[in-house]
Amino acid sequence: MLNQVKQSILTPYGMQEKDIDTIMDSMLSSQVDEADIYFQSSHFESWVLEGGIVKEGSHSIEKGAGVRVVSGEKTGFAYSDRIELSVLLEAAKNVKAIARQGYNAQRKIATTAVRKDYYQAINPLKSLADQEKIDLLRKVDIETRKLDNRIEEVIVSLVGVDEQILVANQDGSLAADIRPLTRMSVTVILEDNGKREQGSMGGGARTDYGYFLDQNKAVEYGKEAVRQAIVNLEAVDAPAGNMTVVLGPGWPGILLHEAIGHGLEGDFNRKGTSAFSGKVGERVASDLCTIVDDGTLDNRRGSLNIDDEGVPSEKTVLIENGILKGYMQDKMNARLMGVKSTGNGRRESYAHIPMPRMTNTYMLPGAHDPEEIVKSVKKGLYAKNFGGGQVDITSGKFVFSASEAYLIEDGKITRPVKGATLIGNGPDVLTKVSMVGNDLELDSGVGTCGKEGQSVPVGVGQPTIKIDGLTVGGTSV
């Protein structure tokens, strides 16, 4: 893979491996703790069908390189879209000022880390002919419209990315990755007697477009979107107040991403700005909860063979039986906290600084049958699908918005209620988890996480869980 990536990122621009050494040498001094050069090339395409026609498509090619020097807690960073020795030497000159000058440092000896690959080095854009992509969109549109005569609009999109990265570290190591990523989504709008609602479903993976043809997945997305819209057409006002909430399996795992995930990223904890700072070894969840961040799942949207600092992906235990075990780390924060990088150093692109980010974050299954969990609730909310979420790292307060939810009355799921935001406090919400289902599911592969203006693809998952008390933001007081 390394040779293939060198061929496609360096060779066309007349760069050789020794040029990387030259740039690296120019950045190193005794004060440098980390230095890297990150080359990236990415091809992106999207196709959108709307109003029954394939309205537009777009294609983009981006490439560039970023150079970074870290000294203590200080980072100097510059990048360019021109992969040329002279340009990158100039960038290196700009960033090295961050480290006080000293004698030239010895290059550290490269250590070979064990690396496994969790997805194939393929180019998804080429996995179907353009006409086949169009045909797929059309088929989904036609099949979806057949499902209900109240459908007003169907929007189908298909997105593919072919990304290659090459990262050179100050220890002389050079690591490459080829990261395919595909995504498809269907949105429908239904109208019934002047009342309108929408439903959305999508999925994706680090693989080719064949993924959407397998088991008729694309058509199933359409069915699911219609089902959600119909449920929402019948929804009554959501309740307001603190109540028992049962979260369904899969995408509701966004709870974990917001409530504890961000708060366990190394940078916030190194700086002491997280509500979880200094809590390793303490109880932050009920003993039913074991939560991991795992970049090593095959073909998952959040998976990585290596992170953007060249560190192989890991499965990191964040919380074990309710006890906080550790944080997610990149190289700089790991060094400053005296631990090892967990392979969570990620960046949106060559034009962004890496930081600790999640990959696939999920809770391990428990012992309960999901039906048993619902049966145990006298009055509460069952939330099955969610939109986005957000967290205030410092206060620990987080939100996530239900897009499909039902009342639970006397142990039964009854009426659907309108979407509502749920709000809670990260450090104690999981202490109220009183039942964990045996039905672990991962999300369908659509998650994107934003942090400090940088977006990266992520995954979440969980079994059905019961939380004894979460604030539900409906209108029905």
Partner 1 sequence: MQNHEEINRLKNLVQDLLDESEKQGATSAEAGLSVDNGLSVNARLGEVETIEHHCDQSLGVTVYIGQKKGSASTNDFSGDSIKETVKAACSIAGFSSEDEYSGLPEKENLATEFQELDRNYPWNINAEEAIEIAIECEDAARSYHAEINNSEGAAVNSHQGIRVLGNSLGFLQGYESTRHSISCSVIGERDGDMQRDYWYSVSRKSDKLESAKAVGIKSAERTISRLGARSLTTRQCPVLYSAEVASGLVGSLIGAISGGSLYRKSSFLLDALDTQILPEFIHIHEQPHLKMALGSSNYDSEGVATAARDIVTDGVLKGYVLSSYSARKLGMKTTGNAGGVHNLVVDSGENDFTAMLKQLDTGLLVTELMGQGVNRVTGDYSRGASGFWVENGQIQYPVEEITIAGNLKDMYKNIVSVGNDVDYRGNVRTGSILIEQMSIAGE
Site for partner 1 in 416-445 (CB under 8 A): 418-425
Q: Which of 56, 369, 371, 409 binds partner 1 (CB under 8 A)?
A: 56
* Nearest approach, Cβ of residue 251 and partner 1 (Å): 15
HSE on the CB side for 149, CA within 13 Å?
1
455 binds partner 1, rule: CB under 8 A: no
CB of 57 to partner 1, least distance (A): 4
Shortest Å distance, C-beta 338 to partner 1: 19
222: contact with partner 1 by CB under 8 A: no
Q: Of 48 and 317, which CB lies nearer to partner 1 in the complex structure?
A: 48
For the segment 121-150, give every residue that binds partner 1 (CB under 8 A): 130-131, 133-134
85 in contact with partner 1 (CB under 8 A): no
Among 8, 29, 94, 216, binds partner 1 (CB under 8 A): 94
- Exactly one of 296, 305, 401, 444 binds partner 1 (CB under 8 A); that residue is 401
Q: Considering the rule CB under 8 A, would residue 55 count as an interface residue with partner 1?
A: yes
DSSP bridge partners of 476: 239
Q: Show contacts with partner 1 in window 282-341 (CB under 8 A).
A: none
Of 23, 98, 247, 284, which lies in the binding site for partner 1, with binding defined by CB under 8 A?
98
The order of strands in the sheet holding 315-320 is 323-324, 315-320, 291-294, 360-363, 459-462, 441-442
Q: Which stretch binds partner 1 (CB under 8 A): 68-76, 177-185, 201-209, 336-344?
A: 68-76
- Applying CB under 8 A, the site for partner 1 has a residue count of 78
Tokens 């929007």 locate to 155
- Please identify, among the stretches 90-98, 280-288, 309-317, 334-342, the one whose residues bind partner 1 according to the rule CB under 8 A: 90-98
347 binds partner 1 (CB under 8 A): no
Contacts of partner 1 in 364-393 (CB under 8 A): 387-393
The residue among 436, 287, 294, 279 whose CA lies nearest residue 360 is: 294
**Strand runs labelled E in 193-326:** 195-205, 240-247, 291-294, 315-320, 323-324
Residue in 125, 160, 150, 138 with CA at minimum distance from that of residue 49:
138
The two tokens of residue 166 are 């090459």
The DSSP secondary structure of 40-68, one letter per residue, reads EEEEEEEEEEETTEEEEEEEEEEEEEEEE
Cα Dmax for the chain: 77
Stretch that binds partner 1, among 18-26, 87-95, 103-111, 175-183 (CB under 8 A): 87-95
Spatial CB neighbours of 343, under 8 Å, sequence gap ≥ 6: 295, 304, 306, 307, 311, 312, 313, 314, 316
Count the Cβ atoms, other than its own, within 10 Å of residue 403.
20
Give the residue with the Cβ less far from partner 1, 1 or 337: 337
What's the length of the chain?
477
| Dist CA 332 CA 71 (whole Å) | 9
Q: Is 21 in the site for partner 1 (CB under 8 A)?
A: no
Which residues inside 253-292 make contact with partner 1, applying CB under 8 A?
A: 271-273, 275
Site for partner 1 in 182-211 (CB under 8 A): 189, 191, 196-198
Sign of CA dihedral 132, 135, 141, 143: negative
When binding is defined by CB under 8 A, the residue of 121, 240, 280, 317 that contacts partner 1 is: 240
Least separation in angstroms between CB 457 and partner 1:
18
Piece of 70-78, 220-228, 308-316, 336-344 that binds partner 1 (CB under 8 A):
70-78
Is 366 or 416 the residue whose CB approaches partner 1 more closely? 416
Interacting positions 156-185 with partner 1 (CB under 8 A):
none
Cβ–Cβ under 8 Å, residues 105 and 29: yes
| Near partner 1 by CB under 8 A: residue from 74, 126, 340, 378 | 74
By the 10 Å C-beta count (0-12 exposed, 13-18 middle, 19+ buried), 374 is classed as buried
Look at strands 240-247 and 379-391 and give their pairing: parallel
Contact between 8 and partner 1 by CB under 8 A: the answer reads no
Q: Reduced to 3 states, what is the DSSP secondary structure of residue 103?
A: coil
**Which secondary-structure segment (H or E) carries 185?**
strand 174-192
399 binds partner 1 (CB under 8 A): yes
Nearer to partner 1, 183 or 270 (CB): 270
- Beta-carbon count within 10 A of 17 CB: 10
- In the bound complex, what is the minimum distance in angstroms from residue 105's beta carbon to partner 1? 20
414 contacts partner 1 (rule: CB under 8 A): no
Residue 81 within binding range of partner 1, rule CB under 8 A: yes
Specify the pairing of strand 360-363 against strand 459-462. parallel
